[in-house]
């Protein structure tokens, strides 16, 4: 079989920003995996990769697949082709987050934040997460109905993130709202009105950094303290630069976990025998159920990379400078990796999945995410012996970025 090139004709139509792909890409992803594991998108000088092995291999090869304009493509950037050349390495500036950079700067910045999110540090948040979850349930359960995303998981998640980045937990509602607004999409690309929310969030974080600098004897804030000690080319970071790194943690960690928790409860509720099985021992059974919800309904649709040289992958010749959409949700339903991948099974043995990414940019918040997911599920299932979900009022806005419920009403009893 000759290798596909970017101009090869294809007899099947796919565009990551089409209505169909944004509404429910599951059937399209199946076709892609079977017929075009590397699908040419000449309109973006890009390829879509859908098989697990391929996206995994790209994830762990930062030399051949760099960040450049990734990890979330802006159509304005996609419109600028690299014209067959390797992209120049992205340089660190005041507004650049480590999630958009390649090593060595990405690695240095990541290490600066990392101590606050490593397994032992993350485990210390458990009591706080449980306390927040219980507080929410105390307030919500008596109403008989509440929203799983905004009123339960979202507020707990935002409260935890506030603590991680040195903001008072009572700012959780404000932070949740700012994150939701700043990440709003109008595919392809961000919605038009996200600027003020970005600025407001940045401002809050600059204040948190300044407060920490001004009072070194206050309680430690490991995420800020690590970045205050970080040096890039021998230079300390400014408050603005630190705030940009923290904003990535806030954005990455606020709306993702509650979406997965909502999805997990929805899939369990649709399958009463599975819900009963998880309920039988929530402490033991919520972690695998959360992991299966990650695989089955990963919120992040893709991560982007750019080829730094010409490379053959998945039957295609990818030229230097071309972009790659690594389709997370397609890879996580790959029948070569998972048995009957379109079935949700809470106790499925999962060796690996791609919902937290892979390689150098592997989700830095993974330990917090798993802990939060487990506690949110466990507390809710223990506190509420029976519930229904009102799918008629559920809301999943079309997005090329973080897909998931932003409204899912739960009725107690
Ligand atoms: C279920 C929840 C989560 C999901 C599905 C998720 C997903 C991901 C994925 C796929 C990546 C890789 C991006 C890439 O390869 O370019 C990533 C990176 C990242 N995540 Fe998460 N994440 C979650 C929770 C969190 C939490 C709780 C935090 C913060 C506490 C967080 C912070 C970050 C950051 C800062 C990065 C960038 C890391 C880097 O580029 O080195 N995430 N996440």
Packing angle between helix 282-296 and helix 256-270, nearest 10 degrees? 100
In a domain, 358, yes or no: yes
**Count of structural domains within the chain:** 1
Distance CA 205, CA 209 (A): 6
Secondary structure, 3-state, 62-109? CCCEECCCCCCCCHHHHCCCCCCCCCCCCCCCCCCCHHHCCCCHHHHH
| C-alpha of residue 362 to centroid of ligand 1, in Å | 7
Indicate if ligand 1 lies below 6 Å from the C-beta of 98. Answer: yes
- Specify the pairing of strand 323-327 against strand 46-49: parallel
297 lines ligand 1 (CB under 6 A): no
Q: Give the model's pLDDT for residue 312.
A: 97
Query: Does ligand 1 come within 6 angstroms of the Cβ of 290?
Result: no
> How many angstroms separate the CA atoms of 161 and 171, rounded?
10
Q: Give the Å distance between the CA of 364 and the centre of ligand 1.
A: 6
Looking at residue 136, its pLDDT comes to 98
Structural domain containing residue 319: 19-412
pLDDT value of residue 184? 81
The per-residue pLDDT for 190 is: 80
Q: How far is the CA of 369 from the centre of ligand 1 (A)?
A: 9
Closest ligand 1 atom to 106 CA: 41
Look at the block and give the residue holding tokens 């079977």: 34
The answer to whether position 12 is within a domain reads: no
Per DSSP, 385 falls in state S
- 7 in any annotated domain: no
Segment 387-398, tens digit of pLDDT: 999 999 999 988
Residues of the chain with pLDDT under 50: none
Tell me if 4 is assigned to some domain: no
What CATH number is attached to the domain comprising 88? 1.10.630.10
Residue nearest to atom 21 of ligand 1 (CA): 363
Note whether residue 198 is domain-resident: yes
Q: Is residue 146 part of a domain?
A: yes
Instruction: Among 154, 363, 401, name the best residue to mutate to test ligand 1's pocket (greatest count of ligand atoms within 8 A of Cβ).
Output: 363
State the helix-helix crossing angle for 256-270 and 239-254, rounded to 10 degrees.
0
CB of 154 shorter than 6 A to ligand 1: no
Atom of ligand 1 nearest to the CA of 256: 2
pLDDT at residue 93, as a whole number:
86
Secondary structure element (H or E) that encloses residue 157, with its range = helix 154-164
Mutation pick for ligand 1 pocket among 116, 230, 296, 356 (CB with most ligand atoms within 8 Å): 356
Assess whether the C-beta atom of 56 lies below 6 angstroms from ligand 1. no
* 26 within a domain of the structure (yes/no): yes
């Amino acid at each position: 079989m000759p290798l596909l090139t970017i101009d090869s004709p294809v007899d099947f139509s796919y565009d990551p920003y089409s209505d169909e792909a944004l509404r429910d890409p599951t059937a399209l992803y199946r076709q892609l995996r079977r017929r075009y594991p590397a699908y040419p998108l000449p309109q973006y000088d890009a390829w879509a990769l859908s098989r697990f092995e391929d996206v995994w291999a790209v994830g762990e090869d930062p030399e051949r697949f760099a960040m450049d304009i990734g990890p979330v493509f802006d159509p304005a950037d996609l419109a600028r082709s690299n014209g067959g050349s390797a992209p120049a390495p992205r340089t660190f500036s005041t507004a650049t987050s480590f999630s958009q950079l390649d090593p060595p700067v990405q690695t240095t910045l990541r290490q600066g934040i990392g101590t606050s999110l490593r397994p032992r540090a993350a485990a210390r948040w458990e009591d706080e997460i449980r306390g927040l979850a219980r507080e929410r349930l105390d307030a919500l359960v008596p109403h008989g109905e509440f929203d799983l995303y905004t009123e339960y998981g979202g507020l707990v998640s935002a409260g935890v993130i506030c603590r991680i980045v040195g903001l008072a937990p009572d700012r959780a509602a404000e932070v949740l709202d700012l994150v939701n607004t700043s990440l709003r999409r109008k595919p392809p690309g961000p919605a038009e009105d996200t600027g003020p929310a970005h600025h407001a969030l940045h401002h809050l974080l600059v204040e948190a950094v300044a407060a920490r600098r001004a009072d070194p004897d206050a309680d430690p804030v490991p995420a800020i303290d690590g970045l205050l000690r970080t040096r890039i080319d021998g230079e300390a970071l400014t408050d603005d630069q630190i705030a940009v790194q923290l904003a990535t943690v806030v954005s990455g960690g606020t709306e993702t976990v509650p979406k997965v928790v909502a999805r997990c409860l929805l899939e369990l509720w649709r399958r009463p025998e599975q819900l009963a099985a998880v309920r039988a021992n929530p402490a033991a059974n919520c972690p695998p159920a959360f992991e299966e919800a990650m695989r089955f309904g990963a919120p992040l649709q893709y991560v982007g990379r750019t080829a730094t040289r010409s490379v053959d992958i998945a039957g295609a010749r990818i030229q230097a400078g071309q972009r790659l959409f690594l389709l997370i949700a397609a890879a996580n339903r790959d029948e070569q990796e998972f048995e009957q991948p379109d079935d949700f099974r809470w106790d499925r043995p999962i060796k690996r999945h791609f919902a937290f990414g892979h390689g150098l940019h592997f989700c830095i918040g993974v330990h917090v995410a798993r802990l939060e997911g487990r506690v949110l599920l466990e507390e809710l299932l223990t506190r509420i012996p029976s519930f229904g979900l009102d799918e008629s009022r559920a809301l999943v806005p079309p997005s090329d970025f973080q897909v998931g419920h932003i409204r899912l009403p739960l009725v107690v009893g």
